[in-house]
Amino acid sequence: MKITSIVGTRPNFVKIAPLLRSFKTENDIESTLIHTGQHYDKFMSDVFFEDLRIDKPHVHFNVGSGSHLKVIAKIMVTAEEYFMSSPTDLIVVVGDVNSTLAIALAGNKMGIPIAHVEAGLRSRNWDMPEESNRILTDRLSELLLTPTKEDSRNLIDEGIEEEKIHLVGNIMIDSLFDSLERIGDGSEVLDRYSINGAKYGLITLHRPECVDNKENLKAILDAFNAIQQNVKLIWPLHPRTRKTINEFGLNDYLKEFSNLHVVEPVGYHHFLSLMKNSFMVLTDSGGIQEETTAMEIPCLTLRNETERPITVTEGTNQVVGMDTARIIESVNELLSGKRVKGGIPELWDGKTSGRITKILRSWWQSKM
């Protein structure tokens, strides 16, 4: 069976890595990896590929950045040309980025079956580009591989045939558990920032609703300003966020935060070392909500909703929005000892990639 897997952004690397390693153990699977180049920084891509033990992609589309429509169109046209000359039995897409949707559309139009890893997530916020990406990708896919029972229910409620839906668990946790075994205590990273033994919070922020709106970004920065007066904060600053901070004239304001340390973006293992040893995480990321739940670290999500509600109902996540006072209040509760006690959801056990591989092989055998 020929399987072609697609990545386009760094979160995709984390999700595809354990699956590629699983494919390697199967003699009857011929695996190809395509990088669309939707987000591409040579240094950061190389670091992530090394950290996650991913071989270099067999094919690179080099589409670069651009508007949503331009990126999707470019990937679709390039994918058509590629699959015309290099047929495949199955395309595997992960997550909900533009590359995911573009390849799903191209594969569907060319009659190539699609397997969607991380299917069924729903924020019900149509202002999020990812929401339309994930819903359309699910509609176009023949195999829908879900992280939780709630994600499976979402698909059933939308009228998708149950035989297409497979509860497999969370693929990101495979990468997380594998990497945690290899990074040790992370002391080398902590020493770099002089935070070994210190209580600190970790920040990530990059979503358009948080950083492209000046009012929202200023409200979040105001919260960070208050928080850093009580606890040290470490912030690997996303290029998009750095750009809007400068455009909105907020750079000088940020420099006043003496106990908030802005650092350059870091690799996966480097970031896990920071997260593993943190007191709490403030984020707008989806994947980090899951990773903090798996590591039982308090997470405050700076959004008004989440497509990963299980991290709230069963995990350590709280959705606190972008209101300055509410963010500060939530942090103060954590500082006072009111920690959210969560557990690890069902099938978030580091064995999702094996379950997916078994399902894909069974699907293929049914076609023979």
In single-letter form, the type of residue at position 166 comes to: H
* Alpha-carbon separation of residue 108 from 16, 111, 141 (angstroms): 21, 5, 8
Residue located via tokens 């700076």: 302
Contacts of 265 (CB under 8 A, 6+ apart): 44, 236, 237, 238, 239
Nearest-5° angle of CA 69, CA 71, CA 73? 65
- Among the listed residues 39, 116, 166, 206, the single catalytic one is 206
DSSP 307-320: S-THHHHTSSEEE-
Is 206 a known active-site residue? yes
On the CB side of 336, how many CA atoms lie within 13 Å of its CA?
Answer: 7
245, burial (CB in 10 Å: exposed 0-12, middle 13-18, buried 19+): buried
DSSP assigned state of 14: H
**What residues act catalytically?**
206
